A and B are shown apart, each in its own frame.
Chain A
């Protein structure tokens, strides 16, 4: 059974970089054709896909966040990470990591529990 777990600071100051890590167990992030993704949910709002890193290492980001986002992977630790730069209060959200299994289809079959990140001074 694949499990994902987000970790990182719950509070980030405005203009700084938000950094989160997703630790995957029960499966390797470097095997299989999976899209290791980050998705966020603003308080009381809907879901927003941020981006993914493919098992091969290639990345793809939401065009609306493209210049601010970087997703990387550490296969030795079976983790992938999100960096979101120049954050503002509008980036306050619950951040989820999830495993996508199909290109161009939003099939996210495993999710982390989510972690709340608040942007505030």
Chain B
């Protein structure tokens, strides 16, 4: 069981907006920055969102992140078929003194 809780799956149709949640605690999300990674099938994860809501260069503005209290969310607007991937949240946990990842959410574009 992961320290961070994500729904195992999410889905949407092209053009829709979907959100993926990540729930944690005061020792991780509540006190540290949240990151999001996208993992396309058969590839390594790729940094998608850093410091809660910042996008690295090259990441479309269709992807956005937010954080409130001990939860965070990733939103994808204008859903496209190439967004079909696994998405992971990540954060530093003060209690564990280490980086932790969520269990991942498999996004299906219908």
Interface residues of A (CB under 8 A from B): 45-49, 60, 62-63, 96, 98, 100, 104-109, 111-114
Residues of B within 8 A of A114 (CB): 44
Some 8 contacts from A to B, beta carbons below 8 A apart, are A46-B103, A49-B99, A49-B101, A60-B98, A63-B96, A100-B99, A107-B50, A113-B43
Residues of A within 8 A of B56 (CB): 109
A46 with B2: CB separation less than 8 A: yes
Q: Mark B81-96, 1 if CB is under 8 A from A, else 0.
A: 0000000101110001
19 extra A-B contacts, CB within 8 A, seeds A47-B45, A96-B45: A45-B104, A46-B103, A47-B88, A49-B99, A49-B101, A96-B44, A105-B32, A105-B33, A105-B35, A105-B50, A105-B92, A106-B35, A107-B35, A108-B37, A109-B47, A109-B56, A111-B44, A113-B43, A113-B44
Pick the residue among B2, B43, B90, B104 that contacts A106 (CB under 8 A).
B90
Residues of B within 8 A of A60 (CB): 98
Chain B residue nearest to A97 (CB atoms) is B44
B47 with A107: CB separation less than 8 A: yes
Chain A residue nearest to B2 (CB atoms) is A46
5 closest A-B pairs by CB: A111-B44, A106-B90, A47-B101, A104-B92, A49-B99
Q: Quick check: is B18 within 8 A (CB to CB) of the other chain?
A: no
Q: Quick check: is B65 within 8 A (CB to CB) of the other chain?
A: no
A106 with B92: CB separation less than 8 A: yes
Residues of B within 8 A of A108 (CB): 37, 45, 47
A46 with B102: CB separation less than 8 A: yes
B97 with A63: CB separation less than 8 A: yes
**How far is B48's CA from A109's CA once the two chains are assembled, in angstroms?**
10
Distance to closest chain A CB from B34 (angstroms) = 9
Q: Quick check: is B100 within 8 A (CB to CB) of the other chain?
A: yes
Q: Quick check: is B51 within 8 A (CB to CB) of the other chain?
A: yes
Given contacts A106-B35, A107-B35, A109-B56, contact A49 B98 (CB under 8 A): yes
Residues of A within 8 A of B32 (CB): 104-105
A48 with B101: CB separation less than 8 A: yes
Distance to closest chain B CB from A12 (angstroms) = 21
